Structure formats: C-alpha cells, structure tokens
C-alpha cells in the first residue's frame, strides 16, 4: 500500500488542469448497456473506479476498449451475456447499482448485489428499487442480491413510464431511473430529482443516443420512452469536485493557482463560501483563478445540501481550510450521517474541531503541524493532503488507495505548483 508524504509550508503557484468527472463518467459508462451500438467516451479520468466499472460491464457481456492514457473508452454491449452484477465488484464500488436500471430497460431482467454500508454512512438503495418497482419491475431480495425482472405481461417485458416523486434527493437514483425510463413504454416524470451537473451530462449523452429527455438540471425531469437507442461520442464534463479540491490548495497555502478546464458555474457555491472567507476567486477564460496573499482566512459556516447547495464532496476540503480561519465556523453535514472522519485526523495535526452528530464546530488555530494521518475515504484523503500542504513539517497520509479512486495524477498536478509531495511504498 502506498502512502503520500507532504512537506508543508510552500505557497502553491501555477496552473492545475482538471480531469473528467468520475461521478459523471460512472453512470455514462453504464448507459452503454442501453444500446447494442458502441458508446465512445472521451475525457475519461484514468482512475481505479473506471477500471472497476469496465470490469463490471465486461462481466455482463460488454467489450470495453480502454485507452486510459488517452482518456478514452469505447464500450459495446452487443448483447447482455450475464445479467448478474456480482458482490465481489459491487462491494468495491457502490455505483455498480447503476447497471440495474439499464439492464431492466434493455432486457427486462437484472440481478445486482446489494451494496453494504460504507465508511461515510448507511447509503441505502431503496429509492432506486422503489422507482424501478413503480415502473413495473418485480423485485426479489435474497442472498444479498436483488433479482429484478419485468413480467412478460407488461408491454412484452418492457418497463412502463410513471410519475415518481423522490422523498429525498438522490443523485444515483435519479440517474438509474432516468436511464431505465429512456426505453420504457410511455412517459416518466421524475419529481424532486437531483439537479447535479452529472445528471445534465448523462441526459446530454442519452439525448445524443436518441433518448427524449426534458428538464435535466431542474427538479422535474420528463422522459418519453423510445424503442431503441444508438451509440454516440460523448466528452465527460470536468470534475467539479476535483476542481473545488484544487481551489482550496492556494487558499490554504497562501498562493495563487489557476485551475483550468472547468467553469466557475460548476463550483459557484464553493466559490461564494471561499470569497466570504476572504479568498480571491475569479473566472478566467479557461478556468478559475484562486489566490490568497498574506490575508487571514475568515471563518465561514456552511451546510451541505444537494446541488446547487454546498457539496458534501467538498465539505472535508473546506473544513481543512477552516482549521486555519481567524475564528469559529460551524459545519452541518446533511447528506451523509458519518462524514466527519477526517476531523480526528485533522485534530492530530493541531486543528481544533468538536464533532457533535452531524455538526462540526471548527475553532481556527494559527498553524497546523505535520503528523502521520490515515485516509478513511476519498474526500477525507484529499482534505488531509491539503492540510499537509499548509502544515509545518512532514505529513504522511496512509491508505491513499482511497485518493486514487478520485484524483488522477494528484502528486504530479500539485508538484507542478511547487508542492513538496511524494508517494512512497508503505509496507506496514
Ligand atoms: C453520489 O452518490 C456521488 N457518487 C457521491 O460521491 C456524492 O457524495 C453523493 O452523490 C451526494 O452528492 C457518485 O456519483 C458515484 P445520493 P449517491 O443517492 O448517488 C440517501 C464521492 O466522494 N439515499 O445522492 O450514492 C443517501 O443515503 C462520492 O465522490 C437513500 O436514502 O448519493 C444519502 O443520504 C461519495 N436511499 C442521500 O440520499 C437511496 O436509495 C444522497 O445520496 C439513495 C440515497
């Protein structure tokens, strides 16, 4: 297992390019299940999760031609050989559940292992299942698997369009049902749908494949089912979470970095919070420039919410910044019930954070000190790296396989801006 050693204290200066979005790419890859023609994706990030999703699709019968260095993947599913998403893959990556809607829509059958809980919370998939049931699927939960099928008596084994209201906003369930609805009989109306940019990207790709979708990016999405979809070429949108993570780097170190490849509108809410903290954030022709020259960091309280609110996936990074603020900030995590595992690790670096349920109270300190810390999930990992960049001395972050799920060439990108950072083998 690798670990990353950061020697902090150097303000970052330069340019960091943003890769394609992991969370957009995962559902886009599963959309290939909806057609027998090839789906070509470009701007595909070269990450562990893309490899896992490719392996899952291959186990279902897809031929996946990956060119990771060229950030390209071509996926073709001429026919679904085996409609079974095995536990061995699903337990590695919860987004595996996104194959269920497309498999049911394409062939009227699919079996997917139920994902277990994960480090950041219970993360049930009940809304995915309720939605598919409302569309006519018959579900049987046994042996840790959901066995789903569409009865032949229903439009010859085809899902039906329905009106479905999500009781809570779910990105994944919106994606799963939107994909299922593209080939259903009739019109599907998804109410209280997620509005994330990843949903819009998926809808754009599905539309290019021949789907009829209105309202993606709003809370009501209408999908008119069609008989068949075709392949297309689609470029994955920029990763707004990677972008936001790198925006924190100059802010926390007191530097000046332009993050290129993504638009400010993808990270509006973070930009506003950072500006309230006294950080300069401005849009440039090719991205966003962030700087803090000697000024202190003001405390900013915030609450995580579905898009366009403050992203839960940027909470840990913003908390790292707030550990050095000139006062007290209060952070309310409303999406996941256990997403403060970075707090005790940041505390080991000298931060003053009190966690009470879903609320963290961060009292800014004048400086952080390097320490050995352990990454517990993807966004926790990057927050520890960011804190390490600002800390005095050496921070070693272990279990960086979490980081490798969501950040492509992270050391290289940060090193290009002057960060002292290296990956070493950790044999413990
Ligand atoms: C997506 O997860 C992202 N993952 C997560 O990214 C992100 O944190 C999350 O959305 C919220 O923005 C991908 O896109 C692959 P949800 P998802 O369904 O779709 C509850 C990262 O670091 N819920 O929007 O799984 C759920 O427990 C990550 O990149 C149900 O109750 O999230 C949570 O409290 C981790 N029942 C809330 O809804 C369901 O059936 C939002 O979850 C589904 C969800």
- Tens of pLDDT along the chain (428 residues) come to 789 999 999 999 999 999 999 999 999 999 999 999 999 999 999 999 999 999 999 999 999 999 999 999 999 999 999 889 999 999 999 999 999 999 999 999 999 999 876 788 778 999 999 999 999 999 999 999 999 999 988 888 999 999 999 999 999 999 999 999 999 999 999 999 999 999 999 999 999 999 999 999 999 999 999 999 999 999 999 999 999 999 999 999 999 999 999 999 999 999 999 999 999 999 999 999 999 987 899 999 999 999 999 999 999 999 999 999 999 999 999 999 999 999 999 999 999 999 999 999 999 999 999 999 998 899 999 999 999 999 999 999 999 889 999 999 999 999 999 999 999 987 66
183 and 159 in contact (C-beta within 8 Å)? yes
The residue nearest atom 4 of ligand 1, judged by CA position, is 23
Sheet of 232-235, strand order: 63-67, 72-76, 39-42, 232-235
Ligand 1 pocket residues where CB is under 6 Å = 23, 26, 94-95, 121, 123-128, 168, 170-173, 312-313, 335-336, 378-379, 406
The residue nearest atom 25 of ligand 1, judged by CA position, is 172
Q: What is the pLDDT of residue 229?
A: 98
Q: What is the pLDDT of residue 428?
A: 60
Which position has the token pair 């080991």? 348
pLDDT tens readout for residues 221-233:
999 999 999 999 9
Residue 163 alpha carbon to ligand 1 centre in Å: 22
Nearest atom in ligand 1 to 128's CA? 40
Q: What is the pLDDT of residue 294?
A: 73
Q: Is the dihedral of CA 417, 418, 424, 428 positive or negative?
A: negative
Nearest atom in ligand 1 to 126's CA? 40
Nearest atom in ligand 1 to 127's CA? 40
| Enzyme catalytic residues | 118
Residue 175 alpha carbon to ligand 1 centre in Å: 11
Longest CA–CA separation in the chain, Å: 70
Tokens of 288: 């966003």
Residue boundaries of the structural domains of the chain: 2-19+239-425, 22-235
171 and 190 in contact (C-beta within 8 Å)? no
Residues 6+ apart with CB under 8 A from 114: 90, 125, 141, 144, 145, 146
Cα–Cα distance for residue pair 344/235, rounded to 1 Å: 39
Cα–Cα distance for residue pair 93/87, rounded to 1 Å: 10
Candidate from 56, 123, 243 with most ligand 1 atoms within 8 A of CB, to mutate: 123
Q: What is the pLDDT of residue 286?
A: 95
Residue 366 alpha carbon to ligand 1 centre in Å: 35
Cα–Cα distance for residue pair 121/119, rounded to 1 Å: 6
Tokens of 126: 């009940």
Cα–Cα distance for residue pair 88/77, rounded to 1 Å: 21
Q: Is the dihedral of CA 205, 206, 212, 213 positive or negative?
A: negative
Q: Do domains 2-19+239-425 and 22-235 have the same CATH topology?
A: yes
Q: What is the pLDDT of residue 426?
A: 73
The residue nearest atom 39 of ligand 1, judged by CA position, is 125
Nearest to 418 by CA among 7, 115, 12: 12
What does CATH list as the number for 22-235?
Answer: 3.65.10.10
The residue nearest atom 15 of ligand 1, judged by CA position, is 23
Residues 6+ apart with CB under 8 A from 212: 182, 223, 224, 225, 226
Nearest to 84 by CA among 56, 115, 117, 64: 56
What does CATH list as the number for 2-19+239-425?
Answer: 3.65.10.10
Candidate from 21, 23, 119, 180 with most ligand 1 atoms within 8 A of CB, to mutate: 23
Q: What is the pLDDT of residue 293?
A: 80
Say if residue 308 is preceded by a cis peptide, omega within 30 of 0.
yes
Candidate from 131, 164, 171, 305 with most ligand 1 atoms within 8 A of CB, to mutate: 171
Per residue, the 3-state secondary structure of the chain, as one string, reads CEEEEEECCCCCEEEEECCECHHHHHHHHHHHHHCCCCEEEECCCCCHHHHHHHHHHHHHCCEEEEEHHHCEEEEECCCCCCCEECHHHHCCCHHHHHHHHHHHHHHCEEEEECCCCECCECCCCHHHHHHHHHCCCEEEEECCEEEEECCCCCCCCCCECCEEECCCCCHHHHHHHHHHHHCCECEEEEECCCCCHHHHHHHHHHHHCCCEEECECECEEEEECCCCCCCEEEECCECHHHHHHHHHHHHHHCCEEEEECCCHHHHHHHHHHHHHCCCEEEEECCEEEEECCCCCCCCCCEEECCCCCECHHHHHHHHHHHCCCCCEEEEECCCCCCCCCHHHHHHHCCCEEEEECCEEEEECCCCCECCEEECCCHHHHHHHHHHHHHCECEEEEECCHHHHCCCCCHHHHHHCCCCEEEEEECCC
């Amino acid at each position: 297992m690798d670990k990353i050693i950061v020697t902090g204290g150097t303000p970052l200066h330069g340019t960091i390019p943003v890769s394609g979005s992991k969370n957009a790419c995962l559902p886009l890859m599963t959309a290939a299940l909806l057609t027998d023609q090839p789906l070509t994706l470009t701007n595909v990030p070269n990450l562990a999760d893309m490899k896992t999703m490719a392996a899952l699709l291959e186990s279902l019968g897809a031929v996946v031609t990956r060119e990771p260095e060229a950030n390209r993947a071509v996926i073709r599913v001429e026919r679904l050989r085996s409609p079974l998403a095995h536990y061995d893959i699903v337990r590695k990556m919860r987004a595996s559940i996104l194959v269920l809607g497309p498999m049911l829509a394409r062939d009227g059958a699919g079996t997917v292992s139920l994902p277990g809980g994960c480090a950041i919370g219970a993360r049930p998939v009940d809304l995915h299942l309720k939605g598919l049931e409302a569309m006519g699927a018959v579900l049987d939960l046994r042996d840790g698997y959901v066995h789903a099928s569409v009865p032949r008596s229903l439009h010859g084994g085809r899902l039906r369009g329905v009106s479905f209201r999500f009781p809570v906003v779910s990105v994944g369930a919106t994606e799963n049902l939107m994909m299922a609805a593209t080939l259903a009989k009739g019109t599907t109306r998804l109410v209280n749908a997620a509005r994330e940019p990843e949903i819009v990207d998926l809808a754009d790709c599905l539309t290019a494949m021949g789907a009829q979708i209105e309202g993606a990016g709003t809370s009501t999405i209408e999908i008119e089912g069609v008989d068949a979809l075709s392949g297309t070429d689609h470029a994955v949108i920029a990763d707004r979470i990677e972008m936001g993570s790198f925006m924190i780097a100059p802010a926390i170190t007191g530097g000046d970095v332009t993050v290129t490849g993504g638009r400010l509108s993808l990270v509006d809410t973070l930009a506003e919070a950072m500006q309230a903290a006294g950080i300069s954030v401005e849009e440039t022709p090719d991205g966003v420039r962030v700087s803090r020259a000697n000024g202190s960091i003001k405390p900013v309280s915030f609450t995580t919410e579905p898009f366009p609110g403050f992203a839960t996936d940027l909470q840990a990074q913003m908390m790292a910044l707030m550990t050095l603020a000139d006062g007290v900030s209060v952070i309310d995590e409303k999406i996941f019930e256990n997403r403060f595992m970075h707090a005790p690790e940041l505390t080991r670096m000298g931060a003053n954070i009190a966690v009470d349920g879903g609320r963290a109270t961060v009292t800014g300190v004048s400086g952080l000190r390097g320490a050995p810390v352990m990454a517990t999930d993807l966004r926790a990992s990057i927050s520890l790296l960011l804190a390490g960049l600002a800390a005095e001395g050496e921070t070693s972050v272990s279990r960086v396989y979490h980081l490798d799920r969501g950040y492509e060439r992270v050391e290289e990108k940060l090193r290009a801006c002057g960060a002292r950072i290296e990956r070493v083998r950790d044999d413990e």
